[in-house]
Amino acid sequence: MKSNEIVERYLRGERDFRGLDLTAENLIGVTLNQANFSTSRLKEASLARAYLERCFLMDVNLNGAFLYGTNLSFSKLKGSYLIEADLTKANLQGAQLNGVDLTNAKLSGAILLSVNLFRANLTGVNLCGANLNGINLRSANLERANLNWTNLSGARLSGANLKGAQLNGVKLNGAFLNGLQLEGVDFSGLDLNDAKMSGAKLAGANLMGTALHAAQMRFSNLEGANLQEADLHESSLKGGQFVSVNLMKGDLRDADLRNADLSYANLNLADLSGADLTNANLQGAYLWGANLDGTCLKGANLTGASLRNAKLNGADLQDTILCGATLPNGRIY
C-alpha cells in the first residue's frame, strides 16, 4: 500500500492499518494520530515531522526509519524495532518503549519526558545532554551508550547494564542504582546525592570528589575504590565493603558505617565526626589526622590501625579493639 492511499483512508475515518508493508514509504509530515500500525513494516520509511500522537505501533519494524522531529507522544511502541532509526528531536513524551530495540538509534534532542524504557535495548545510543529526569530504565541495556551530560536525576536504573557507557557530567542525584554492576566505572566529580546504590558492585570505581550526600549504599562493594575527597556525609554505608579504599580527606560526618569493612582503608585527614562505626572492621586502617570527634567506635576492630594525630574528643571507645594500634600521641597500644 502506498502512502497516498494511507492518507486517503485516514481522512475517510479509517484508523486500522495493522500488518501493512510500508517499507521505505514517504510519509513525511503526514497526520495519522491515533492510528493502529501494529505489526506493520515501516523499515527505512521517511516519517520526518509526521504526527503520530497516541498511535499503536506495537511490534513494528522501524529499523532505519527517518523520524526526525516526529510527534510520537503517548504512542505505544512496545516490542518494536528501531535499530539505527533517526529520532533526532522527536517528541516521545509519555511513549511506551518498553522492550524496544533502539540499538545505535539517534536520540539527540529528543523529548523523553515520562518515557517507559523498561528492558529496552539502548546499546550504543546517543543520549548526550538528554533530560531523562525520573525515567524508567530498569533492566535496560545501555552498554556503550553516550550518556554524557545527561540528566538522570531520580531515574530508575536498577538492573540496567551500563558497561562501557560514557558518563561524563551525568546527573544521578536521587537515581535508583541498587545492585548494579559498576566495577571500575568513573563517577569522579559527579552528583550522586541521595542516590540509591544499596548492593551495588563498585569495586575499583573512581569516585574521587563525588557528591554522595545522604546516599543509600548499604552492603555495597567498593573494595579498592577511589573516594578521595568524596562527600559521604549522612550517607548509609552499613555493612559496606571498603577494603583498601581511598577515603583520604573524605567527608563522612554522621555517616552510618555499622558493620562496614574498612580494613586497610586510607582515611587520613577524613572527617568522621559523629559517624557510627559500631562493630566496624578498621584493622590496619590509616587514620592519620582524622577527625573522630563524637564518633561511635563501640566494638570496632582497630587492630594495627594508625591514629596518629587523630581527634577523639567524645568518641565512644567501649569494647573497641586497639591491639597494636598507633594512638594519637604516637604510642603503640
Q: Determine the average pLDDT of the residues in 93-107.
A: 94
Domain C-terminal end among 131, 157, 192: 131
For the segment 163-211, what is each residue's pLDDT rounded down to a tens digit? 899 999 999 999 999 999 999 999 999 999 999 999 999 999 999 999 9
Specify if 159 maps to a domain: no
Residue 17 pLDDT > 90: yes
Task: Indicate if 243 and 310 belong to the same structural domain.
Answer: yes
Could you give the C-alpha distances from 153 to 73, 79, 164, 241, in angstroms and in order?
A: 22, 26, 20, 26
Spatial distance between the Cα atoms of 93 and 267, rounded to a whole number of angstroms: 46
Structure-block grid coordinates of residue 99: 522492550
Q: Determine the average pLDDT of the residues in 60-89.
A: 96
Task: Indicate if 191 and 87 belong to the same structural domain.
Answer: no
pLDDT at 3: 76
Specify if 16 maps to a domain: yes
Report residue 1's pLDDT band, with 50, 70 and 90 as the boundaries.
low
Spatial distance between the Cα atoms of 88 and 106, rounded to a whole number of angstroms: 6
Mean pLDDT over each residue of the chain, to the nearest integer: 95
| 3-class DSSP state of 10 | helix
Task: Indicate if 325 and 182 belong to the same structural domain.
Answer: yes
pLDDT at 266: 98
| Burial class of residue 277 (count of CB atoms within 10 Å of its CB; 0-12, 13-18, 19+) | buried
Report residue 129's pLDDT band, with 50, 70 and 90 as the boundaries.
confident
How would you label 71-96 residue by residue, b for 16+ Cβ within 10 Å and e otherwise?
Answer: bbbbbbbbbbbbbbbbbbbbbbbbbb
Specify if 138 maps to a domain: no
Q: Determine the average pLDDT of the residues in 208-219.
A: 97
Task: Indicate if 196 and 296 belong to the same structural domain.
Answer: yes
Specify if 156 maps to a domain: no
Specify if 165 maps to a domain: no
Q: Residue 206 pairs with which residues in a beta bridge?
A: 186, 226
Task: Indicate if 324 and 181 belong to the same structural domain.
Answer: yes
Q: Determine the average pLDDT of the residues in 255-267.
A: 98
Task: Indicate if 205 and 307 belong to the same structural domain.
Answer: yes
Q: Determine the average pLDDT of the residues in 297-301.
A: 97
Spatial distance between the Cα atoms of 206 and 320, rounded to a whole number of angstroms: 31
pLDDT at 50: 96
Specify if 148 maps to a domain: no
40: amino acid identity, one letter: S
For the segment 229-258, what is each residue's pLDDT rounded down to a tens digit? 999 999 999 999 999 999 999 999 999 999
Task: Indicate if 121 and 226 belong to the same structural domain.
Answer: no
Task: Indicate if 192 and 125 belong to the same structural domain.
Answer: no
- Cβ–Cβ under 8 Å, residues 158 and 180: yes
pLDDT > 90: what percent of the chain?
93
pLDDT at 186: 92
Domain count, the chain: 2
Scan for cell 518515557, then name that residue.
115
pLDDT > 70: what percent of the chain?
100
Task: Indicate if 185 and 124 belong to the same structural domain.
Answer: no
Domain C-terminal end among 131, 148, 163: 131
Q: Is the pTM of this model over 0.75?
A: yes
Specify if 271 maps to a domain: yes
Specify if 296 maps to a domain: yes
Task: Indicate if 102 and 176 belong to the same structural domain.
Answer: no
Task: Indicate if 326 and 239 belong to the same structural domain.
Answer: yes
| 3-class DSSP state of 5 | helix
Enclosing domain of residue 256:
172-332
Domain C-terminal end among 79, 101, 131: 131
For the segment 27-60, what is each residue's pLDDT rounded down to a tens digit? 999 999 999 999 999 999 999 999 999 999 999 9
pLDDT at 247: 98
Task: Indicate if 256 and 324 belong to the same structural domain.
Answer: yes
Q: Determine the average pLDDT of the residues in 154-165.
A: 93
Residue 305 pLDDT > 90: yes
Beta strands (DSSP E) in the chain are none
